Structure 1
Amino acid sequence: MDYFPVFLKLNNKSVLLVGGGQVAARKARMLLDAGARLTIVTPETNAAVDALGKTRNVTIKRRRFRSSDIDGHWLVVSASNSPNVERDVALAAENARVFCNAVDDIANCSYITPAIVDRSPVVIAISSGGTAPVLARRIRTMIETQLPAALGDLAQLAARWRVKVAGTLTSFSSRLRFWEQVFDGRIAEAVYSGNSELGDELIAGLLDESAFGSESERGVAWLTGAGPGDPDLVTLKALRAMQSADVIVHDRLVSDRVLALARRDAERISVGKTPGCSKNSQAEINALLVKLVAEGKRVCRLKGGDPFIFGRGGEEAEALSEAGLPYIVIPGITAAAGCAASAGIPLTHRDASQSVVLLTGHGKDSIDKLDWDSLARDRQTLAVYMGVSRFPELMQKLTGHGRPLDTPVAIIERGTTPQERIVRGTLGQLPMLAKAHAIESPAILIIGEVARTEARSNQISNRDSRAERAYAEKSAIQRA
């Protein structure tokens, strides 16, 4: 982080503005909106600056800048459009230890002004560190479209009730849940529709319920799919759960990049299972979830992929249900869909595959119990989860039941991430491919004619970080 983000309270503070053109006028209006007392130094002014000079809190000195002009000011803005003046102002400010911003001249800035979304008292600042101000403005436009115009009114309602809520609800967790209900439900909707009086009535009722009822203290578990690895593939509903949870109980394969999306002060508990290790048995995980929810905690049980596809989410749901505890299932993009798409492999194709079968090479049900006659049929795609250590058995079972040795296969290791690796070959080569390329978990195996398909030349790969960055920048601009 090259710059420390900060909001300055400029109310009744003296600020120096150097310049008298259109840009200076725009900066002057923003500073005045923040309550600053403004001194403008410039030999020439336009009509907009002249008009501002007639208002209260603005003094215009019609002359060239002097180093002594810095004295007594809290902040300096230079908008002279003259490189020499910008340099002189910046040097004088530096010597006086006063922060200075030179508009569109990053070399002469000791601070930068961000693009802002103003829903006062809510203000959102966006900065590119001076490297791409147009991109920062594009991002601002994207955020503008997502925020209700009356968001500031909702913040003011919260300010009116903050002291009373703090005096009524004594625990931090109860206050946190109370405000989440305010901002996510009928109260917010009433304010957004322009009816702040109804918002006050509803918040009074909710406070009474929260003070005398136990509903707000109930725990809940969100059985949440984190997707196949790419943080951008986490669903919005999963993101809300991650940012609302008191505790994040996560698997080993949930990446740090995904965990970084979670609420920062949430407790994190790793219950990941390592192949061949008995630590963190499913029974222990079930008991942990029951314990945490029973204590009134909101728990995000975060799993790679989808919680109900080889994620044992069904077993955890049963444990919570038997304990009489509430839970919510939040689907995720399963590895077969996400990784195959990232590798350019369609799981179905009307010329090659009319069905998809998901199976696991790991778990309490041995692969010996699978219906291999059915799995060996052609014109279908097999997606094998957690099967790296059992590739030799998979090859023997499928070929032994009639699947041809030259059936195409694709092994996708760490799919959808920048570390994604794709190894292609045939079913008969499967054990050799895994060994020769040192395939490690997490990896998914795709078997069938669709595995012949490779990403088209214009499909951007997660493995190409430069292309990924270019795609992200292009997408940001297009969405704006």
Structure 2
Amino acid sequence: MPALFPLFVDLQGRTVLVVGGGAVARRKITALLDAGARVVVGAPALVPELAELADAGRLVHRAGRFAPEWLDDAWLVVAATDEPDTNRAVAEAAGARRIWANVVDDVELSTVQVPARIERGPLQIAISSSGGAPMLARHLRETLETQLDESLGALAQLLADARGRIRARLPDLQARRRFFDRVLSGPVPGLLRRGAESEALQAFDDALAQADTARPAGRVALVGAGPGDPGLLTLRALRLLNEADVILHDRLVSPEVIALARRDAEFIEVGKQAGGHSVHQQRIHEIMLEHAQAGRFVVRLKGGDSFVFGRGGEELECLQAHGIPFEVVPGITAALACGAYAGIPLTHREHAQSVRFVTAHCKDSADTLDWSNFAAERQTLAVYMGVAGLDTVRAQLIAHGRAPDTPFALVENGSRPEQRVVSGTLADLPETARAFQVKSPALLILGEVAALAHTLHWFGAPPLQAPAAVPEYARAA
């Protein structure tokens, strides 16, 4: 099914041909007339409702069977007959003339789809399934109809009427964005919901008169993007993504999260991953400062949480040293998300009374870790960025007393549709990872709780495992 490009089309006074004069055609014609189109209906006969519209001069009726010349002067054609051959002939003739065609209930023949719509005055929300699941689109429309207040139409009309005044008062785009943010979070929408239109207009006029035209002070927000599932973003993170002028994002921030950000923001990838750096940390500092000092709102978007192995503290120190205002929005860190989505409780009354977050992505960091404490029983290790150092992890833990049969789970792409969980025991950790070709991003969870992935998994496929048996207590959990 092809991806569709959404458009809102101005049909005012333009000719639209509808082939078919039955009940299905009537529904399409009603919407076309509401859009101001000049509707021509080609059909041997019309249902009574359409005949009345023709008698009233609201549409033109061409009696007979379809002929290609009916397409003369048409900007759009809708085929709404119950005859497949006729619908195909309409689509082919329209294609030959480069005229957009909608064939009702036929995705293959259509070059344009008519979406399910929610209307609030000049505000319209269109929902499309690319023609493949119209009932789903209709269900979503019905859901949104109950959630979107009717006063949104009045708000859209007020803003449309004042557009010229807004642009004259605030020629700078960033200043206009700040003004709209204040208006939409201020008293105007609430006044319109109560039907107090004159008070709403006065509040709007007051806000516009007081709008600040001075250049804004720049600021930075460190925002945790979580592990990848966009549903795990906080509401504050989502709001800031839609306010940002510039978004500096890590490579591992998922495309689904990026898609929620404001479309006209400037996106700069500054991510790092194990084994290489695309942008050095000092350069990231320089980019943040450059844009913030130019008066822009910068969102530094990090996978997981900024303060858990994200170097967020270093970035805040840089901002503080240069007098740049900042805020921090926490994200769900990989250990919490991977554990939850793999069905692994990081703590458990019977198996683990503590959890440690560890990073071991290079030899130097691995050599400085407190392996004797990490090897203690009845605790969980959550090892970040450790795929490349699994041989070292195994050797150090066993050397410091951790039992070779300690369960582990490697969670690859945790919380994402492509999530995989690979399990086994510490003795075979690196060999199992290589056998299943585990790649970054992946988190290692090691400890007795890791075996619970076999009985508590709920997201994606069951864990993959080496031939070693699952411990008895995990089977009985």
Range of TM-score over shorter length: 0.7 to 0.9
Letter paired with 2:406: T
Q: Is 1:239 equivalent to 2:238 in the alignment?
A: yes
User: Structure 2 vs 1, CA of residues 44 and 456 (structure 1 numbering), >3 Å: closer, same or farther?
Assistant: farther
**Stretch of structure 1 that moved more, 302-311 or 423-432:** 423-432
Query: Which residue pairs with 1:298 in the alignment?
Result: 297
Q: Contact 2:454/2:462 (CA < 8 Å) preserved in 1? A: no
Query: Which residue pairs with 1:349 in the alignment?
Result: 348
Letter paired with 2:334: A
Instruction: Measure, in 1, the Cα distance between the counterparts of 2:402 and 2:97.
Output: 80
Shift of 1:393: 4.4
Cα RMSD after superposing both structures: 3.3
User: Structure 2 vs 1, CA of residues 189 and 373 (structure 1 numbering), >3 Å: closer, same or farther?
Assistant: farther
Instruction: Measure, in 1, the Cα distance between the counterparts of 2:358 and 2:88.
Output: 67
SS in 1 for 2:8: coil
Shift of 1:436: 5.2
Alignment size in residue pairs: 462
Shift of 1:432: 4.2
Q: Percent identity?
A: 45
**What is the TM-score when the length of structure 1 is the normalising length?**
0.83
Query: Which residue pairs with 1:403 in the alignment?
Result: 402
Q: Contact 2:420/2:461 (CA < 8 Å) preserved in 1? A: no
Instruction: Measure, in 1, the Cα distance between the counterparts of 2:300 and 2:104.
Output: 48
CA deviation string 1:93-134 (max 9, x = no partner): 455554333322345434322222222312222223322222
Alignment of 1:313-392 (within 5 A): 313-361=312-360, 372=371, 374-392=373-391
Q: Contact 1:17/1:76 (CA < 8 Å) preserved in 2? A: yes
Query: Which residue pairs with 1:164 in the alignment?
Result: 165
| Runs of 5+ unmatched residues, structure 1 | 465-480
Q: Is 1:26 equivalent to 2:18 in the alignment?
A: no
Query: Which residue pairs with 2:115 in the alignment?
Result: 114
User: Structure 2 vs 1, CA of residues 462 and 253 (structure 1 numbering), >3 Å: closer, same or farther?
Assistant: farther
Query: Which residue pairs with 1:459 in the alignment?
Result: 458
Query: Which residue pairs with 1:81 in the alignment?
Result: 82
Query: Which residue pairs with 1:467 in the alignment?
Result: none
Shift of 1:304: 0.8
SS in 1 for 2:410: strand
Query: Which residue pairs with 1:57 in the alignment?
Result: 58
Letter paired with 1:358: F
User: Structure 2 vs 1, CA of residues 79 and 219 (structure 1 numbering), >3 Å: closer, same or farther?
Assistant: same
User: Structure 2 vs 1, CA of residues 255 and 75 (structure 1 numbering), >3 Å: closer, same or farther?
Assistant: closer
Query: Which residue pairs with 1:468 in the alignment?
Result: none
User: Structure 2 vs 1, CA of residues 117 and 456 (structure 1 numbering), >3 Å: closer, same or farther?
Assistant: farther
Shift of 1:336: 0.7
SS in 1 for 2:421: strand
Q: Contact 2:408/2:447 (CA < 8 Å) preserved in 1? A: yes
| Runs of 5+ unmatched residues, structure 2 | 464-477
Q: Contact 1:43/1:63 (CA < 8 Å) preserved in 2? A: yes
Instruction: Measure, in 2, the Cα distance between the counterparts of 1:364 and 1:289.
Output: 30
Q: Is 1:133 equivalent to 2:139 in the alignment?
A: no
Letter paired with 1:309: V
CA deviation string 1:401-456 (max 9, x = no partner): 44322211122233233554433222233344455555443321111111112355
**Stretch of structure 1 that moved more, 179-188 or 110-119:** 179-188
Letter paired with 1:148: D
User: Structure 2 vs 1, CA of residues 351 and 165 (structure 1 numbering), >3 Å: closer, same or farther?
Assistant: same
